[in-house]
A and B are shown apart, each in its own frame.
Chain A
Amino acid sequence: MLENAPLEAAASGEAEETEVGAARQGPDGADRVPSYPTLVFLELLAVLAVTAFFVLLSVVFDAPLEGEANSAFTPAVTKAPWYFVGLQELLVYFDPWMAGVVIPGLIVLGLMSLPFLEDSRRTGRSPTPRRSRRFGNVVFTVGLTFWFLLILVGAWFRGAGWRFVTPWSAVAAGQGQNGAAQSWSFSPLAGALVVGAYLLLVACLGWRFRGSFLPRMGRFRYVWMVSLLALMGGVFLKIALRLLWDVHYVVTTPWGSM
């Protein structure tokens, strides 16, 4: 209840309009300070510190500039800007339409739907239960860590032909292992069975753990959340299949494979 007090005060119309005096007991029990000068000067300090940091950075380190663009000369390894290297690294495990379009698109949609997965009209503004809060933290942390892990691997552990190299053995570049050479794919029947088994497992787990979510979220949101988690788990599983057993495609269709 405590957390919503200032919020409701703001909603009910400009709580501060009625306040007189510098430090007054606020609605949430904290003493209040005027934005000017306290907050404004702290902001100024932050602005100066950050600006100084980036000015120093720019004095010391030069932005990279290579030779002029030449479409006729392909470098040994071409890498996307670092924030997209994670997606490029996913290309090892998925076709471009999955790694570059479907997976990032669903990540963005999933992020946008976060607030709608946590609260419903039934519970309104009540605090998230501790257990589902921890669950949310774990999922988000795993996702974010994994994203940066992919970036690290893509940026530092990939050499010519996107083969695995270590940054400290530049000599070995080009001699690393390339999984694509010996990889194999499931037959259509085996692929359908594996995907079917995975979806069945997801459905069973969804049914097993519905208790703490379903009443709070309603059917539609729960199915959407389980789908997003299934996608996340599916990406992890596919990466594991590829790394452990060199599986290229689980499902092969004439339109697209994954």
Chain B
Amino acid sequence: MRKAILTSQVWRAVFRRPLPRSPREQKQAARNNFFLHLHPATLPRQRLRLTTTFCMGGISFLLFIILTVTGLLLMFYYRPTTAFAYRDMKDLEYAVTMGQFLRNLHRWAAHGMVLTVIAHMARVVYARAYKPPREFNWVVGVSLLVLTLFLSFTGYLLPWDQLAYWATSVGTNMLRAMPVLGAAGPASLVDLNTDVGFYFLGGRVIGESSLIRFYVLHVFVLPVVAIVLMMVHFWRVRKDGMLKTPL
């Protein structure tokens, strides 16, 4: 029976080869599998050491995946309107099976991702892993750090509780103070109805339109940009010869 399945045309169409046994097959495994093809076929043994990278880049990516999955599940229960947002939080807490756990995981993974991305950056600096030819990938990485912060920040408003509301107001007040483009900034060329804060909030103060704007940024715009940049980031890591051997 097992043999019949493993040799059937359907199975072979999906898994072209059996599990690799010989060294040659192992190398082909990394090259021929879509999910593994980011790896080089072989790598120096010393780079397997934990202290080479502390896994910080990989953990950041894992947390991004956890955030995507938990975020997707939360989207089934959350409505980004001032009438429902907070009520849906309470529903997650009391009515939805595992709802509180979902929200916890999303929250802690988000904090964790900010930390691991910063740690990843520090590791790259101390290893001088941004040196040529990796300069561009470093710039992509810094952009991803900024995106991580903005993703986290836009998500902060969504629970629509006092913590969310006032923390966001601290952030957007700073935006209002932007030189030239902010209404409260120096050399301002705009008023409260045309400044950068107005476009961000969809109004003069945080309200209904701010919530939907932050929501769309949080669940679609920023993640899509982050995914594109991540693809470039990983692809370049691979093309630039994977890890730099630490000095």
How many chain B residues touch the partner (CB < 8 A)? Answer: 97
Query: Is there contact, CB below 8 Å, between B179 and A102?
Result: yes
* Chain A residue nearest to B246 in the complex (CB): A3
Query: Is there contact, CB below 8 Å, between A108 and B146?
Result: yes
With A3-B245, A54-B66, A74-B166 as given contacts, are A114 and B138 in contact (CB-CB < 8 Å)? yes
User: B159-170 vs A: 1/0 string, CB under 8 Å?
Assistant: 111111111011
Residue B184 interfacial (CB < 8 Å): yes
B101, B132, B139, B145 — which one has the most chain A CB atoms within 10 A of its CB? B132
Residue A217 interfacial (CB < 8 Å): no
Interface segment, A45-53, A167-175, A196-204, A225-233?
A45-53
**CB proximity of B143 to chain A, nearest CB, Å:** 8
* Chain B residue nearest to A55 in the complex (CB): B105
**CB proximity of B90 to chain A, nearest CB, Å:** 8
A46 vs B106: C-alpha distance in the bound complex, in angstroms?
19
Within 8 A of A (CB), among B169-195: 169-171, 173-179, 182, 184-187
User: B1-38 vs A: 1/0 string, CB under 8 Å?
Assistant: 00000000000000000001001101101100100100
Tell me which residues across on chain A come within 8 A of B132, comparing CB atoms.
115, 119, 124-125
Residue A211 interfacial (CB < 8 Å): no
A227 vs B33: C-alpha distance in the bound complex, in angstroms?
48
* Chain B residue nearest to A253 in the complex (CB): B186
Residue A213 interfacial (CB < 8 Å): no
Query: Is there contact, CB below 8 Å, between B26 and A37?
Result: yes
Query: Is there contact, CB below 8 Å, between A71 and B177?
Result: no
A115 vs B105: C-alpha distance in the bound complex, in angstroms?
36
**CB proximity of B118 to chain A, nearest CB, Å:** 8
Query: Is there contact, CB below 8 Å, between A68 and B30?
Result: no
Query: Is there contact, CB below 8 Å, between A38 and B104?
Result: no
Tell me which residues across on chain B come within 8 A of A54, comparing CB atoms.
63, 66, 105, 108-109, 112
